[in-house]
Structure 1
């Protein structure tokens, strides 16, 4: 799947959905790292990017049958695009975490993932000539409505003002509901988000990084997906290193077995594997369609919260999940003719 030959359209859709499913597991694992290792979001993002780069570099000879130095020439040929992709990946992650801190999980999620497909649709139209059409607009609108219902449909049993254990994965899940009213997790208390306007701005910045990553991944889609992901992670980790260094690179209790295993999972599954699959799908699937299919991520994250973290969903949240799932399912019909390249109209 990571090799140079493009996937069929159906397999490309499946690859993007699988990538988004892997991303959906990342939030709970990151929250465990906050609790078990005392790491902040910037440091976790740095280790995630570095782990993704190292995992792909180690697997590169098996995937491509050649040394990683073969990527140097490719990077030199398309330096600007790869640098922009790496920066976009880093901005998407870090700005989202900052938005959560200022505006709450629900607001940050709705603004970032909600505006992302719109920005992608506009960018794909202006840059690549991809046409949205009335049906595409209806699918995006339905997906956004489902996302809002899913994220803001609260658990009435959750007392959002009660003291909670800082950094517990369950907080990430339950605060995704309570944050719709401006409540977010901070330290050992759930407190009011202090600067919602700044948080919304950071969420929009995250959406720009997200949209840019999709559009650039589509534009660079003529090469192999593993190489694109590897270079993106390497550039992103370099961008994040100064910030992570300022926050302290290591966990408070040292690199315990638990912390190392969590970091390894975060680097391999929702990073190296997921982005490799995502870039492979982007070689075939139009950018706007890919951005809608990627909304599988909050569906998986919610399913994890219900299955393992004891969260209960309201009727509104269940309805939103069904609407979002329907939008994803109907977003990718087989095209009448296969795109000839990454810039072909979708």
Structure 2
């Protein structure tokens, strides 16, 4: 279990580097956030196709069935995966736009810390899971922590900052929808098949948006170092990070996994401070701590509620 927990923590660290590298790209080139989101998916797709193909081959070998290049999905299963891809496309765009506008630290804390709390709250009306009092308290704490993060840099408030905060909130809402759809999904689709179809749908949705918005024009400003950073985002945090996470999940309890994953926003805040010079201040740090603790409590409460534990 220790090895699994370390793998999940390492995945969280790799994911945390995404926004840091993205911020460097946005500052040094004309690359647009939506374009980077598309490139990230395009780079990762061949890798996830190979993993999906291995899953399909293993399934065929176990059932003596024919080998496939594409999974045999029922209409309902395909619809669920398409919905996940839609959420993924919106999340990639809104999150990276928020990083570009307000920085990696605050954007990630808002985008990734609010969804687990919102999922725990929405599980009652949508999934029939009765909310526990501790979940409601965690929700209030999460809102308070988010407000403190927003207020931590209030002296620089303006239209651009407000837009960035709204984009981070949009990313949080979209990611909540992604999580809720994932929990609703009961098709039993293998992990990497789900990842490939989801990423493929997201890329197909982002492609016309980037094209019509003129996002490809910014590619001319990328040098070799910049393309290497794009490749890094597509390979290391996306491909290697997900493999580490799913490998660690095999031997790590779900509750512990959900808590370890909350390290990602803290890793981002730390890296943003060390590398980008982003400072949250006393109010922001307190808000980040409150928000993270709320996520841990809400995640543990939600997991216990779903398993019937007290």
TM-score range, shorter chain: 0.7 to 0.9
Quick one: structure 1 residues 206 and 312, their matched pair in 2 at CA, closer, same or farther if it must change by over 3 Å?
closer
Quick one: structure 1 residues 152 and 261, their matched pair in 2 at CA, closer, same or farther if it must change by over 3 Å?
farther
Pairing 1:111-150 to 2, within 5 Å after superposition: 112-113=111-112, 115-150=114-149
Quick one: structure 1 residues 101 and 83, their matched pair in 2 at CA, closer, same or farther if it must change by over 3 Å?
same
Name the residue aligned to 2:275.
Answer: 308
Per-residue CA distance 1:272-294 (angstroms, 9 max, x = gap): 34456667869x848xx95x765
Name the residue aligned to 1:173.
Answer: none
3-state DSSP of counterpart to 1:74? coil
Name the residue aligned to 1:298.
Answer: 265
3-state DSSP of counterpart to 1:316? helix
Per-residue CA distance 1:79-125 (angstroms, 9 max, x = gap): 110111000011122234456678x4588667645653454234322
User: Are 1:207 and 2:206 matched, yes or no?
Assistant: no
Cα distance in structure 2, aligned partners of 1:296 and 1:53:
26
Name the residue aligned to 1:237.
Answer: 203
Per-residue CA distance 1:250-272 (angstroms, 9 max, x = gap): 62245x43223212221123323
Name the residue aligned to 1:257.
Answer: 224
Cα distance in structure 1, aligned partners of 2:140 and 2:80:
30
**Kept in 1: contact 2:113–2:262 (CA 8 A):** no
Cα distance in structure 2, aligned partners of 1:137 and 1:334:
11
Cα distance in structure 1, aligned partners of 2:109 and 2:268:
14
Quick one: structure 1 residues 30 and 94, their matched pair in 2 at CA, closer, same or farther if it must change by over 3 Å?
same
3-state DSSP of counterpart to 1:58? helix
- Pairwise CA distance, 1:216: 1.6
**Kept in 1: contact 2:18–2:233 (CA 8 A):** yes
3-state DSSP of counterpart to 1:73? coil
Name the residue aligned to 1:47.
Answer: 39
Quick one: structure 1 residues 112 and 181, their matched pair in 2 at CA, closer, same or farther if it must change by over 3 Å?
farther
Cα distance in structure 2, aligned partners of 1:75 and 1:272:
27
Superposition CA RMSD, Å? 4.2
TM-score (norm 2): 0.73
- Pairwise CA distance, 1:78: 1.0
Cα distance in structure 1, aligned partners of 2:98 and 2:114:
14
**Kept in 1: contact 2:97–2:164 (CA 8 A):** yes
Name the residue aligned to 2:190.
Answer: 224
Quick one: structure 1 residues 121 and 334, their matched pair in 2 at CA, closer, same or farther if it must change by over 3 Å?
closer
Quick one: structure 1 residues 273 and 230, their matched pair in 2 at CA, closer, same or farther if it must change by over 3 Å?
farther
**Kept in 2: contact 1:140–1:327 (CA 8 A):** yes
Cα distance in structure 2, aligned partners of 1:16 and 1:216:
22
**Kept in 2: contact 1:29–1:266 (CA 8 A):** yes
Please, which of 38, 50, 53 is the counterpart of residue 58 of structure 1?
50
**Kept in 1: contact 2:109–2:288 (CA 8 A):** no
Quick one: structure 1 residues 275 and 338, their matched pair in 2 at CA, closer, same or farther if it must change by over 3 Å?
same
TM-score (norm 1): 0.67
Q: Aligned residue pairs: how many? A: 295
Runs of 5+ unmatched residues, structure 1: 1-7, 154-177, 184-191
Per-residue CA distance 1:172-206 (angstroms, 9 max, x = gap): xxxxxx4x4454xxxxxxxx42594x666655543
Runs of 5+ unmatched residues, structure 2: 61-66
Cα distance in structure 1, aligned partners of 2:142 and 2:10:
18
